[in-house]
Structure 1
Amino acid sequence: MESLNTMRSYTIVRMPEAVQNVSKERIKYMIFGCGSTGYNVAEELEQENEDLIILDKDEKRVEDLRDQKYEALVRDLRDPNLMEGLPVPEVAFILANDRDANLAALKTVKTRYPATYVIARATDPVSVDLLQQEGADIVLYPQEVVARTAIHHIRKLHSSRLALRLYDMLAAWEGTLCIVTHLNPDPDSISSAMALSMIARHASRNKLNCRILYEGDIGHQENRAFINLLEIKMERLTPQILEECNYIALVDSSGPGVNNELPRSTRVNIIVDHHKNGEHPSTVADFVDIRPGVGATASIMTQYLMELDIPVNKSVATALLYGIRADTRDFKRNVTPQDLNYAAFLLPLTDSDLLDKITSPSISQETVEIIGNAIRNRRLKSGYLFSNVGYIRNRDALPQAADMLIHLEGVNTALVYGISDQNIVISARNKDIRLHLGNVMAEAFGPIGEAGGHATMAAAMIPLSYFSMVKEKEGLLDLIIDPILKRFSSIVGLDDEDKQ
């Protein structure tokens, strides 16, 4: 018998306690690696009372987790038999602070259960690509997430301060505020003007008389229905009205003379826009908020209303929601998470019946004829479609024709053009991801008119200053359109194809 002095020491190993969910065939969530990131995820899931199993190689950590009533097991993420005896997870969070361990666990899970949705943590920029290659559905790089979150909060703080500064400025004004939309205003521009008018009246306690002014035409049947059904009061901008304005605001336009007919020397007080424009206004406004990263100016105005906690009536809410929808093409173009958030805020405040009526108006006979002309006169070359619709009174029919033609087989880019009393008008659509249509249109037609837009849709307007007295407009268009379109063809490389 050994004496007390010579007695060997033994380590008593306690077997892991049985875990309730291990007997299940499937489980909602499984966390692989429970450091600080994994623990925070576990806490969030626990609050939602979701089924959860945690795997970690650290015995002490697992014991602590069990003390907190989590179902946890000691497992090495590098072990190929990691999943033996465990239920199939619907979602796997692989969150260890070890690149090789995360990669090994990802391979094991995806090999055994390809349908499991995996969210994996990257420990460095290189592992982002490695995890994606191994099949991770979402890769989180904490440093990048922190940076994005910080930028998001900074931007939110900045926009909050902008909203307050705008409100305080409007509160100090009295007289007439003229809110000018861009030329041939669309729902985004009009709804933004409505929202600014609401903010101005609220801030000034109705001391400001707000007038919404526009130039050009409102030809699109949806835009006309939009104005009529919401009973939006708009006036044509004239020099006389301009003299009556104590203050001038531009919405959906980046400065005087930029997509509007204000003289470039006009003193403007407020500019709110979401378009990136290379032209710089010759005057400096008291308040400028231009955000190219936002899908619609109506989104910016909605944010102001939210930040300022101003009650939004049904008409303004319906207008703003339709403005965001229209400018993002039903949330399919240039839409951001912020646009979706603002739309979600507006949705319960809108009049759904009015919205249905706005989006389902009758089509005018002229619009039908222009679309018919566009179809008949189309010319297709190497994926580029050109169509001359002749003389037009309703320029808003052109984008509708372009929207239709871009869906024809073999068409990547469509340009539909016509001539009015004062301008050659071009509307274009694009689905070639290699081409930024707005930039090409600006380069081709900007020097001789106004042009620009987005990657998938753009427009141009070329004045007929020297031909305004010519009566035969369609004949004039036939004479001068080829040299004008040659600019576009040269930029996109169609001329090079002709030379080959």
Structure 2
Amino acid sequence: MYLILGVGDVGLEVAERLRRQGREVGFAVTDSRQASLLSGRAFKVERWDPAGELPQVFREAEALVVASQDLPSAEEMLKVIGERKKDLPPVLALVPDELFELDFKEKGADMVLPLSQLLADRLLGALEDLECMRQERELRRLLLSRKGRMLVVMQVNPDPDALASAAALKKYARAFGMEADLSCAGEVGGYYQNRVMRNLLELELLNLRAVDFEKYSIIALVDVSTHSGSALPKEIFPTVVIDHHSVPASEVQGKFKDIRITGATSTLLAKYLWCGGVEVDPTLAAALAMGIVTDTLYFTRGVTRLDLEVFQQLLEKADLDLLRSLHSPLLSKSAFDSLASALKRAKIVENCFLVNLGEIEDSEAVPQIADFLLQ
């Protein structure tokens, strides 16, 4: 059981949430009016006098939370607890701001949470959400103002992040009455995951070099922001650019531009879908989650708080069996054959592991083998 000492707005809210999670929560208060109020809300309540003996429930609790909004009362509680600390569970104290942190730790708190910092973190997150809402509304207005089709252009050889993001933008556009085609100038090969994702999302990709751009009223660059990265002809100007890579502003053209430094473009597209009220089905959720995983190298490269939050939300919706299959794709037979023969010729030179693949039937086996050997 978590035992909350004193009554405050934050402590009461935490108690309600813990109870909804099925956790046992109780209160220890010094005021009879507070005890009556809490009993009326079906909480376990223990009356105690800091000047007297500690009730047994203090020793039986998993943790003690000093949540009184009255600082002198909170300090008195900590003083009593500090004198008997060796017999008690860990103590968490809530304080108005960081100025009280050191003092409360000296008085016996094992952990101190300044409420001002928690509020600031929440406020910054809310402001970030507001910015996402603003950008989504701007993009929606642009789509609704145009007639015709959208062409979504990815990097020359799209990866899982690009494929998932492009599929998400296509779904977003359709929700507001515009159909979209996907295209790239190269191939979806190299990594087995790329081909699996393309098949699962049932993506039909046009060859960018053969596209009739006159058919489209909107050209959108996704997971790429420049002509050179996408092979978009220089005379064709994109209407929409959504990317997570940092590039000089002078190189980016577009009526609507959203270039935010996150770990993956999939993070941004997931937010567009949610802010636009567009349902994310389990397959697309798994694809977007995989886009985040691969582009952040399993959360070891360029990952941001927004990536982690979006990934967690996607997991609640994603087809987890599908996500696992994307996460650990099997090596193709040709890749296994090439790997077996290559290992016989492998050498270690200083800190390098050298593998000569020789002639191979399937060039796409090369990155598969490289990934396998790096694990």
Same fold at TM > 0.5: yes
Alignment match of 2:332 (pick from 363, 370, 390): 363
**CA offsets per residue over residues 297-355 of structure 1, 9 Å max, x none?**
223222222222224455534433433343355667636442234313532xx484696
Judged with a 3 Å threshold, the aligned counterparts in structure 2 of structure 1 residues 117 and 323 are, in CA distance, closer, same or farther, namely: farther
- Residue 292 of structure 2 is aligned to residue 320 of structure 1: no
> Contact (CA 8 Å) 1:254, 1:281: kept in 2 or not?
no
**CA offsets per residue over residues 397-424 of structure 1, 9 Å max, x none?**
447525633x5xxxxxxxxxxxxxxxxx
Distance 1:42 1:395 in 2: 55
Distance 1:176 1:389 in 2: 47
> Contact (CA 8 Å) 1:373, 1:388: kept in 2 or not?
yes
> Contact (CA 8 Å) 2:97, 2:115: kept in 1 or not?
no
> Contact (CA 8 Å) 2:290, 2:323: kept in 1 or not?
no
> Contact (CA 8 Å) 1:247, 1:268: kept in 2 or not?
yes
Report what 1:152 is aligned to: 125
Aligned-residue offset at 1:380 = 4.0
Judged with a 3 Å threshold, the aligned counterparts in structure 2 of structure 1 residues 390 and 143 are, in CA distance, closer, same or farther, namely: same
Alignment match of 1:95 (pick from 55, 61, 67): 67
Distance 1:399 1:135 in 2: 55
Distance 2:113 2:217 in 1: 52
Distance 1:222 1:48 in 2: 37
Judged with a 3 Å threshold, the aligned counterparts in structure 2 of structure 1 residues 47 and 219 are, in CA distance, closer, same or farther, namely: closer
- Residue 195 of structure 2 is aligned to residue 224 of structure 1: yes
Alignment match of 1:260 (pick from 217, 225, 230): 230
> Contact (CA 8 Å) 1:193, 1:212: kept in 2 or not?
no
Report what 2:309 is aligned to: 338
> Contact (CA 8 Å) 1:214, 1:234: kept in 2 or not?
no
SS in 1 for 2:161: helix
Report what 1:111 is aligned to: 86
Judged with a 3 Å threshold, the aligned counterparts in structure 2 of structure 1 residues 41 and 253 are, in CA distance, closer, same or farther, namely: same
- Residue 145 of structure 2 is aligned to residue 172 of structure 1: yes
1:64-143 mapped onto 2 (5 Å cutoff): 64-68=33-37, 69=39, 71-76=45-50, 82=54, 86-96=58-68, 97=71, 101=76, 104=79, 107=82, 111-113=86-88, 116=89, 118-125=91-98, 127-128=100-101, 139-143=112-116
Whose Rg is larger?
Answer: 1
SS in 1 for 2:278: coil
> Contact (CA 8 Å) 2:136, 2:272: kept in 1 or not?
yes
Residue identity opposite 2:87 in structure 1: R
Report what 1:434 is aligned to: none
Structure 1, unaligned runs of 5 or more? 1-27, 408-500
SS in 1 for 2:28: strand
**CA offsets per residue over residues 65-106 of structure 1, 9 Å max, x none?**
122226242343xx7964667441113212243685576466
Report what 1:30 is aligned to: 3
- Residue 306 of structure 2 is aligned to residue 306 of structure 1: no
Alignment match of 2:173 (pick from 200, 209, 224): 200
SS in 2 for 1:238: helix
SS in 2 for 1:185: coil
> Contact (CA 8 Å) 1:266, 1:283: kept in 2 or not?
no
Distance 1:112 1:134 in 2: 16
Instruction: Please identify which structure carries the higher helix content.
Output: 2
Judged with a 3 Å threshold, the aligned counterparts in structure 2 of structure 1 residues 169 and 229 are, in CA distance, closer, same or farther, namely: same
Aligned-residue offset at 1:368 = 6.2
**CA offsets per residue over residues 165-198 of structure 1, 9 Å max, x none?**
2122112222342211223211111011011112
RMSD: 4.1
Distance 1:324 1:343 in 2: 10
Judged with a 3 Å threshold, the aligned counterparts in structure 2 of structure 1 residues 343 and 283 are, in CA distance, closer, same or farther, namely: closer
Aligned-residue offset at 1:253 = 2.0
> Contact (CA 8 Å) 2:287, 2:323: kept in 1 or not?
no
Distance 2:57 2:251 in 1: 72
Judged with a 3 Å threshold, the aligned counterparts in structure 2 of structure 1 residues 283 and 122 are, in CA distance, closer, same or farther, namely: same
1:347-362 mapped onto 2 (5 Å cutoff): 347=318, 350=319, 352=321, 356=325, 359-362=328-331
Distance 1:94 1:175 in 2: 61
Bigger Cα displacement from structure 2, 364-373 vs 116-125: 364-373
Q: Which of the pair has the greater relative contact order for Cα pairs under 8 Å at 6+ separation?
A: 2
Judged with a 3 Å threshold, the aligned counterparts in structure 2 of structure 1 residues 227 and 121 are, in CA distance, closer, same or farther, namely: same
> Contact (CA 8 Å) 2:267, 2:310: kept in 1 or not?
yes
Judged with a 3 Å threshold, the aligned counterparts in structure 2 of structure 1 residues 234 and 51 are, in CA distance, closer, same or farther, namely: closer
Judged with a 3 Å threshold, the aligned counterparts in structure 2 of structure 1 residues 65 and 80 are, in CA distance, closer, same or farther, namely: closer
Distance 2:372 2:76 in 1: 51
- Percent of aligned pairs sharing the same letter: 23
> Contact (CA 8 Å) 1:31, 1:95: kept in 2 or not?
yes
Question: How many residue pairs end up in the alignment?
Answer: 361
**CA offsets per residue over residues 108-164 of structure 1, 9 Å max, x none?**
675224xx4543324442554677799967642100111111111121122122222
